[in-house]
Amino acid sequence: MGMFILRRVGVLILTSLCLTFVVFFLTNLYPNLEKLAKTQGNFRMTDEEVATYLNNNGYLQPVFAKYGQWLGVLPGYVIEGTDGTVRAKCAGPDEPLEEAPTFCGVLQGNWGYSTVFRDDAGGIIAEKLALTGKLMFWVMLLMVPSALVLGVLAGMREGSRTDRTLSTVAITTTATPEYVSGVIFIAVFASTTVGLKWFKGTATSAMDGANFENFFLPVLTIALYGMGYIARMTRASMAEVMTAQYVRTARLKGVKFRNIVLRHALRNALIAPFTVIMLQFPWLLNGVVIVETLFNYKGFGWVLVQAAGNNDIELLLGVSVVSVFVVLVTQLISDIGYVYLNPRISVS
Amino acid sequence: MGGEALGWGEIIGRMFMQFMPVWIALVITFALSIAYKRRLGLYGKLFDSVIGMIGFAMVMFWIFTGVFNGFFDLIATHDVLGQSSSMKNKPPGTPYTKLIGGVDPDAYGYYLLGGDNLGRDVFSRMVAGGWEVIKIAPFATIFAFMVGITLGLPAGYYGGKFDTTLSFVANLILAFPVILLFYLLVTPEIVQTGIPVYLAGVLFIFPIIFLVILWNSRYFTQPATRNLYIGITLVLGLWLYLGIAWDADPFGLISFPPNLLVVFVSVVFVNSPTVFRIVRGLTLDIKTRDYVAAAQTRGEGPWYIMLWEILPNARGPLLVDFCLRIGYTTILLGTLGFFGLGLSPESPDWGSTINEGRKLLTIYLHPALAPALALLSLVLGLNLLADGLREESLRD
């Protein structure tokens, strides 16, 4: 087991390195840098001015050198600009150069500087992650129990009318992407002109004080898309367990149907959905980006859109590290959990 | 200002009439299919399942709508880009008027589903948006399948280093949040660098490789037939390949707009790793079967076994996944439109229209609601179709 986890952590680190390098490479292509220079300076800069700006700020070094500096394995640049000012990666705008450390990368805990928000990238990510964490917590609280109940009810009598109805509901929710269900929910529940006017169409106020009125719609929108998939997996797994020998034996013994479902079938039926729930995290991340944009909730997904749209290199790298980390760690947990829950499988 | 606004009953009635060619085509399709369903194989069996039939009807509805509107100009009532400033954000059923100049007497008299924020007809844009999706989604899915199958079969069959490397790369792509990948790939700046063209160059070669190996492994004992098939594939394939991927068609007939190419490529790129994983898993399972061992004993080549023994036996799950994946591709295209990436902002595709409409969503519902429901119905139809296919193919 120890070896298994160690190997998976190794793969995790290798994957993160590869992915951040891909992001780094794509954001550091010259047309992207040109766009960055123009948004930082002004839009009427000539080509020479763009080149000077980029050179003075260390953007024109070879890509591997820049990546090493960002990672913190190479010393940060110290460049004397054409205007005579000496700029160093590790020194803030007002700090003297002599006191700046040699290395300042992710390994030293320095996530760089966001050019859009003009702030420390690490701080922004931490703050926004907390907001998205709040959203995700409520999503999970709504999604997981309702999906499991839906799946168990549908799967305990396969082919019955309840099963058909619930399966159709599950298919419908998986066929409704967040930007469609969000629009429909706003139309029905939040429009100022027609409809029920129960909830608010934006969740901006939920960032400080979330309540049922301003937070329920975004939570429901994300939860619904993932719910159908988990419910279908639970149904399949439940239906399989219900045909197993020991369930038949229990039934022949005369155990009540209620007890068969709750005592005999449920525990074994929930192994498969557990892995599925864990593997849903990467999908939820997409949902978060869409819903935060639609409902104007300024969390992690919203930052991703802002950073990517404005080619904010270091913020975007931080965002990708976090999201890749979430994806890989949930995969790891799902594998380990599967082994623990299912005694028939062993790693070695 | 002419005429009264229409009530909801009349709006629905008039929309029903506008879709008349689609209804006729649907009735004919269903009548023929049900009459001959015993002779039509798996397709005919679809008509034994109610869910499958409903799904099939929903999918065919949008295909017929797209074809009739795209080729014969039958369904839409107004020009998708035609603006009228007196129709801005008007509710459904408003009579068609113009602020400047008279209304063309031949023009359709109403905006059936109202006007959007630029005074364009929501109904016509919704109808035209269907064609945008049907033009891209199935082909992008086919390409993703070609890539996934060509790489997944040998990865599952041979295993070893080849498999480890490809699986690592597939997991790498899958670990990216899709939206981040889109934001990195589908921007005008990236199009400038030419990266999408290189990606297209790599991804679009796979269908040709796939077909060449397919013919070669089947007909290598009959060189004449083999050379004919491979020749046709190479000539047609390379011609299309040069035209689509490199925009270098020697006859100048085929070209592909660059912003559509980048959308196409990124959708194929996102879908291929999942198909690869599915095909690899199926191959790992099927290669232990007796008929594969029999073929190996007969002395068949590895590619013959992979393409003509393993692949046909994996067709059930692959077909189901194909339907689901077209739906997922439709969702991805909508996502691109929703974030305003790739396609031009004028484009009537559903994602872009939802994105346009959501800015004033709480006041004017109809510009965003119509394309949202349209997208929902197409994806739901594809999912129901997949469910019907799964049920029927399991029954064998």
| Candidate from B177, B192, B365 with C-beta closest to A31 | B192
pLDDT at A290: 92
Residue A114 phi/psi, 5-degree rounding, is -85, 125
Residue numbers in B near A177 (CB within 8 A): 331, 334-335, 375, 379
Q: What is the mean pLDDT of chain B?
A: 87
Nearest to B80 by CA among B91, B89, B69, B93: B69
Contact A189, B374 (CB under 8 A): no
Q: In chain A, whose CA is at the least distance from the CA of B377?
A: A175
Spell out where chain B has E strands. Answer: 94-95, 110-111
CA angle at residue A106 from A52 to A53, to 5 degrees? 5
Interface touch B362/A190, C-beta < 8 Å:
yes
Sequence-distant (≥ 6) Cβ neighbours of residue B123 within 8 angstroms = B15, B18, B76, B77, B78, B111, B112, B113, B370
pLDDT score, position B373: 92
The CA–CA distances, whole Å, from A60 to A24, A74, B59, B379 equal: 13, 16, 51, 46
Query: Under an 8 A CB cutoff, do B180 and A31 touch?
Result: no
Q: B170-201 burial by CB neighbour count: b if 16+ within 10 A, else e?
A: bbbbbbbbbbbbbbbbbbebbbeeebbbebbb
B53 vs A: CB within 8 A: no
Structural tokens at position B20: 């008349």
Q: Which amino acid is at B337?
A: G
Query: Contact at 8 Å (CB) between B105 and B126?
Result: no
Tokens of B190: 């990236």
The C-alpha torsion from B382 through B388 and B391 to B396, rounded to 10°, is: -110
DSSP B29-96: HHHHHHHTGGGSHHHHHGGG-HHHHHHHHHHHHHHHHHHHHHHH--S-SS-TT---GGGTTPPTTEEP
From the CA of B65, how many Å to the nearest CA of chain A? 20
Q: Which two tokens stand for residue B234?
A: 């190479």
**Predicted ipTM?**
0.86
Q: Is A2 on the interface with B (CB under 8 A)?
A: no
Q: Which residues does chain A have within 8 Å of residue B174's beta carbon, measured at their own beta carbons?
A: 282
Chain B, window 168-187: residues with a beta carbon less than 8 angstroms from a chain A beta carbon: 168, 171-172, 174-180, 183-185, 187
Q: What distance in Å separates the CA atoms of residue B70 and residue B22, rounded to the nearest whole number? A: 13
Higher local confidence (pLDDT), B362 or A290:
A290
Q: What is the pLDDT of residue B311?
A: 92
pLDDT (average), residues B208-224: 91
Assess whether pLDDT exceeds 90 at residue B77.
Answer: no
Indicate whether B191 pLDDT > 70: yes
Cα gap B390→A311, rounded to integer Å:
44
**Min Cα–Cα distance to chain B from A195, Å:** 10
Q: 4-43 in A: which are within 8 Å (CB) of B?
A: 11, 15, 18-19, 23, 26-27, 29-32, 34-35
Residues 6+ apart with CB under 8 A from B290: none
CB B322 within 8 A of CB B42: no
pLDDT in tens, B305-348: 999 999 999 888 898 899 999 999 999 999 998 988 877 777 88
Q: Is the pLDDT confidence value at B93 over 50?
A: yes
For tokens 């864990």, the residue is: A278
Alpha-carbon gap, residue A275 to A187, rounded angstroms: 35
Whole-angstrom Cα Rg for chain A: 26
In contact, A229 and A276? CB cutoff 8 Å? yes
**Around Cβ B231, how many Cβ atoms within 10 Å?**
11
pLDDT of residue B258: 78
- How far is the C-alpha of B65 from the C-alpha of B114, rounded, in Å? 20
Look up residue A143 and give its two tokens. 């999604």
Contacts of A172 in chain B (CB under 8 A): 380
Note whether A270 contacts B: Cβ–Cβ < 8 A: no
Residues of B in contact with A174 (CB under 8 A): 383
Ordered alpha helix ranges (H), chain A: 2-27, 30-40, 47-56, 63-71, 121-156, 161-174, 178-185, 212-242, 245-253, 257-259, 266-269, 271-279, 281-294, 300-309, 313-341
CB < 8 Å to A167, chain B:
387
Q: Is A171 on the interface with B (CB under 8 A)?
A: yes
What residue has token string 């193919």? B393
Contact indicator for B388, B52 with CB cutoff of 8 Å: yes
What percentage of chain B reaches a pLDDT higher than 70? 98
Contacts 24+ apart (CB under 8 A), B28-36: B29/B60, B30/B57
Residue A276 and residue A170 in contact, taking contact as beta carbons nearer than 8 Å:
no
**Residue to substitute from B180, B186, B387, interface A, most A β-carbons within 10 A:** B180
Per-residue pLDDT, A95: 67
A243 vs B: CB within 8 A: no
Q: Over its length of 348 residues, how does chain A's per-residue pLDDT go in tens digits?
A: 788 888 888 888 888 889 889 988 988 888 888 888 888 777 788 888 888 888 888 888 888 888 888 888 888 777 777 777 777 777 766 666 666 777 777 888 788 888 888 888 888 999 999 999 889 899 999 999 999 999 989 888 888 888 888 988 998 998 899 999 998 888 888 877 777 778 877 777 777 777 787 888 899 999 998 888 889 888 888 888 888 898 899 889 988 988 888 888 888 888 778 877 877 777 788 889 999 998 888 889 999 999 888 888 889 888 888 888 888 888 888 878 777 777 666 555
Per-residue pLDDT reduced to its tens digit, B36-50: 888 887 788 888 888
What is the C-alpha separation between B79 and B56, in angstroms, rounded?
29
Show which of residues 128-157 on chain A sit within 8 Å of chain B, judged by CB atoms: none
The amino acid at residue B46 is L
Q: Is the dihedral of CA A56, A60, A65, A67 positive or negative?
A: positive
Label residue B1 by pLDDT band (50, 70, 90): very low
Nearest residue of B to residue A35, measured between CA atoms: B189
Residues A149, A153: Cα–Cα separation, whole Å: 6
- Which A residues 319-338 touch B at CB under 8 Å? 319-320, 323-324, 327-328
User: Can you tell me the distance from the alpha carbon of B49 to that of A324, in angstroms, rounded to the nearest whole number?
Assistant: 42
Q: Report the percentage of chain B scoring pLDDT > 90.
A: 40
The pLDDT, as a whole number, for residue A155 is 87
Confidence of residue B117 (pLDDT cuts 50, 70, 90): confident
Alpha helix ranges (H) inside B159-177: 160-175
Q: Which of B193, B339, B365 sits opposite A187 (nearest CB)?
A: B365
Question: Scanning the structure block, which residue is given the tokens 């929703």?
Answer: B338
> Contacts for B157-165 with beta carbons within 8 Å, 24 or more apart?
B157/B283, B157/B287, B157/B302, B157/B305, B157/B306, B157/B310, B158/B302, B163/B280
- Asked whether the beta carbons of B166 and A5 are under 8 A apart, the reply is no
Any idea of the CA torsion for B171, B292, B204, B338, to the nearest 10 degrees?
-50
DSSP-assigned letters across all residues of B280-301: HHHHHHHTTSHHHHHHHHHT--
Element holding A86 (H helix, E strand): strand A86-88
